[in-house]
A and B are shown apart, each in its own frame.
Chain A
Amino acid sequence: MEIEQQVVELAYAMDTFYFLVAGALVMWMAAGFTMLEAGMVRTKSVAEIATKNIALYSIASIMYMLIGYNIMYSDGLSSIIPGLGFLISGDNAVADVMGSGGDIYYSDRADFFFQVVFVATAMSIVSGAVAERMKLWAFLAFAVVLTGFIYPIQGFWSWGGGILDQIGYLDYAGSGIVHFTGAAAALAGVLLLGARKGKYGKDGRINAIPGSSMPLATLGVLILWLGWFGFNGGSELKVSDIESANAVAAVFTNTNLAAAGGVVAALITTRLVFGKADLTMALNGAVAGLVSITAEPLMPSPFLAMIIGAIGGVIVVFSIVALDKLKIDDPVGAISAHGTAGIWGVMAVLLSNPDATFFGQIVGLLAIFVFVFVASLIVWAILKAVMGIRLNEEDEEMGADIAECGLEAYPEFTGKQ
């Protein structure tokens, strides 16, 4: 009897520990997004994008603690309207865990910690797309609403047991719930914000605005890649029995191969289409591959995972070019890598998971898009009317670093002494 108890305690400790470490890995994705975005914007916007990233991560943590977590995992007034609650409750009592005989197998607080870093990821996607021309404080105000309300409400629909869960929408670690959500919010922002000055010429010309640091952007993507093992691997939620341990190992392997497939496919695509190996596209290919596998990283064979990632890597290149043609200026390619590849990822569940239905996946995507896009559009529009969301022309020309932060990322190189 005593040994049995100890096994339950050890398994609980191990699963909780695994959950926390996975959460810490996902937290590190904030560093990945920061570096990727810092590398993809011009030197005059680097300090401001870094400010946005560390601030949005902090805001997401606070808002999710205050209200978001309660909305997402509430009992719900209906399957569409979540309940409301504040702060986070206490953790599992020892007696409850023992009484459950191992059915309660990780700390509630660990669950909160793991979830909080996901909402931050969704918001990170927005910051890259609106880079270099959005006002810092308008962006942070939007972060409050997205992380406190918009993300948790649609999260409730699937992970909280709401309507999308009931119709069979399957999204393992959130190709749709996290990544497509971030992209939809970003798209709404970009449409109201407009392109960076000089990005599109009067005669319809598309001008390239090369990023400031390719090594930083590459480092950022490799950090994201590492963090994704926590993102997908942690979403298995359990590691303390053979079946779960094998599943976690499969998820790690598939996640890695999807990213690799995305890079190689994007690299070859740019070589064929543009003539040279565009590193930035290869980086987007890695992220797109990761996003593509996130909706179902467990069931595919490693080979299929690589193919799913590779298709994501091809899609992202054409998506970036297409958005540019539509004059949707996304300096880091976030809408394509998380949105377009996110759509593909959600639909790719059908390739390997027999429980997935075309209806469930399509309705899930539509519901997320319509709700997140419309809600975001309204919030952006209110912010635009109340405080303005765009830097004035002079500030944009000078750079968001000086205009918003009063400092420069690289004063010794770029400052006028």
Chain B
Amino acid sequence: MKMITAVIKPFKLDDVREAISEIGVQGITMTEVKGFGRQRGHTELYRGAEYVVDFLPKVKLEVAVDDSLVDRVIEAISKAASTGKIGDGKIFVAPIEQVVRIRTGETGTEAL
């Protein structure tokens, strides 16, 4: 089992949700976050003076999936979240040691 964490542009949320639902992913956790990457935010002008927007709004998705789905989920997110422009976001994949469904006590892949 893997935890796939994707930080994407907020306006791509619906597209990404749809794309990974189609593959058969059952659940997603979404958080509104702010952050910056290599661009270090961006600058805007207010009355002719520059100011830096340090942290840009992003959406963070967390998806726990079975190993067999990992590549397809990554591909689906990459495709749906892509605009080709700076700030499209990143995908992180990490192993999951254990999963428990609280209501039933099921564990492992059955709990996903």
Closest 4 CB pairs of A and B: A208-B46, A208-B51, A208-B49, A321-B48
The residues of A that contact B46 with a CB separation of less than 8 Å are 208-210, 278, 280
Interface size on B, residues (CB 8 A): 8
Cβ-based interface call for A351 (8 A): no
Interface size on A, residues (CB 8 A): 17
A324 to B46, CA, bound (A): 12
**CB neighbors of B among A262-288 (8 A):** 273-276, 278, 280-281
Chain B interface mostly: strand
Q: B49–A278 contact, CB under 8 A?
A: no
Interchain pairs with CB closer than 8 A, number: 38
- Nearest Cβ distance between residue B112 and chain A, in whole angstroms? 40
**CB neighbors of B among A182-228 (8 A):** 206-210
Cβ-based interface call for B94 (8 A): no
- Nearest Cβ distance between residue B66 and chain A, in whole angstroms? 44
Cβ-based interface call for A46 (8 A): no
In the complex, residue of chain A having the shortest beta-carbon distance to the beta carbon of B51: A208
The residues of B that contact A274 with a CB separation of less than 8 Å are 45, 48
Q: A275–B45 contact, CB under 8 A?
A: yes
Cβ-based interface call for B50 (8 A): yes
- Nearest Cβ distance between residue A218 and chain B, in whole angstroms? 15
Q: Residues of B at under 8 Å CB distance from A?
A: 44-51
The residues of B that contact A210 with a CB separation of less than 8 Å are 46, 51
- Nearest Cβ distance between residue B26 and chain A, in whole angstroms? 38
Q: Which of A208, A209, A321, A324 has the most B CB atoms < 10 Å from its CB?
A: A208
- Nearest Cβ distance between residue A407 and chain B, in whole angstroms? 27
A 308-352 to B, binary, CB cutoff 8 A, 1 in contact else 0 = 000000000100110010000000010000000000000000000
- Nearest Cβ distance between residue A401 and chain B, in whole angstroms? 22
A278 to B51, CA, bound (A): 13
The residues of A that contact B49 with a CB separation of less than 8 Å are 206-208, 324
The residues of A that contact B51 with a CB separation of less than 8 Å are 207-208, 210
Q: A333–B47 contact, CB under 8 A?
A: yes
In the complex, residue of chain A having the shortest beta-carbon distance to the beta carbon of B48: A321
A321 to B45, CA, bound (A): 12
A320 to B47, CA, bound (A): 8
Known: A208-B50, A274-B45, A324-B48. 14 other contacts (CB 8 A): A207-B49, A207-B51, A208-B44, A208-B47, A208-B49, A208-B51, A210-B51, A274-B48, A275-B45, A278-B45, A281-B47, A317-B48, A320-B47, A324-B47
